[in-house]
Structure 1
């Protein structure tokens, strides 16, 4: 079998390279306490797109740093509702998908929420207000202003606020919420479950935002992780702050959140993935202490994984 990364035995034992800050747990407890003080002030707008069995709405809520966050919301019309809800997250730089892609979940009786990540292609606000680069590079956004200003800290908290909004709806069982996504979306599906312990199941495919130092050492910094190289070229060409840089990114490294997840997890991984290298995905999986399973595609990279969408649907709604 061709190899891009480690062998399967090595992957099964890999525990990550990027350092975990000593105050990591306190950092996220403080972040959640900050979110506790924010009234989401949820509002709805009826969408032009509608169906006979589900209502489609634009949903807005408040989150950290004064942002107004957007999500598509599809609710099954009674008596189809089961009390389940699924939170969906998109890939890096993208936006929530079309209504029709959400309807298969509504047809199963679940309420469906599809988040627009702030500052990317959708409708969510990104108030900004940090030092340094803002042209691109969300992993490094805010790092010059300190760990509490990291862009993904806010995004991670947005996923929590969305889950809390869903849990507050009278037709949704707060213990029957599912999360799912691919790449950045796969990372956020895991993050949401780590920070909201009531999440029931997570379906994640080649998750992004993991083990940044490993990505750097593999020189896989030409696609989604390109900004790691750009940071050193622009701000630290002699790597004098390299240790501090990776230590700070450790606060938004999802491998360090994995052990908090109580949900059942299914992960899909392609062993030829040069965008999110397999080892950076396996370190997440290896640190999960919950009920877990992995679907491995030896000859596939960061692309469509044949049959994976069917696996996800069956895992989330048929088990």
Structure 2
């Protein structure tokens, strides 16, 4: 296969001063993209600020012959998100790729988590996604082209201890991506979710001694493909962890239909209700929402018609 390149494309990558975002920015730039390297340079908990992480990545890209510009606006505010997108438009007059990767961590048990710690994490991960998607989306739709990659997490899919704020935010990102995929489909705009795992500063405090190789560069190619013009999917969730690339899906059991239910009926039918031997997946695009409803309606209609014919 010929090398997949981004010549002429403009990409914005949030949280690109370190870790995964840095790997994404460097890969896209190496393949010809002009990149806005966004990073507010905060601590892992979201405190402070430093211009050097973003600028260092820009320097690395330009030293390798690429083209990039640093941006240190915080995605935690609407104004910051808008300013970030404007950086790409003012510098290069277009926006083709948006990768939202920025994130912070504030750990605490659910029974002890402060409201401030909850809001701070949601502000960056979830509201931050909206703050950059909202100004970027109409630009992409009007241009008839766009690739958006939002970042979820294993914690967003399955939860984890002491990260209720993080899990909520990362689960919410999936909903935002689904809507962007549905509304962007008619305009050449695709949106997908990456569920990455790599040894970055977010792993600080964890015992990683038994982990296999998990460098950010193992994740970057999956994100690069989702960001490329040849990407053939939208409204999906891709996992990239320790060299494994996979698809995650939201699936349903066929379930049980009854014209009426009691609490006892639910208990009596629980095994059949929960039987995952024949899972059903409703693709987000073109109309997973409608397909879900129509599936249940068809069972109810079929039962009603059967009763009439009987």
**TM-score category (smaller protein):** 0.3 to 0.5
Name which one, 1 or 2, has greater alpha-carbon Rg: 2
Greater helix content: 2
Higher relative contact order (CA 8 A, sep 6+): 1
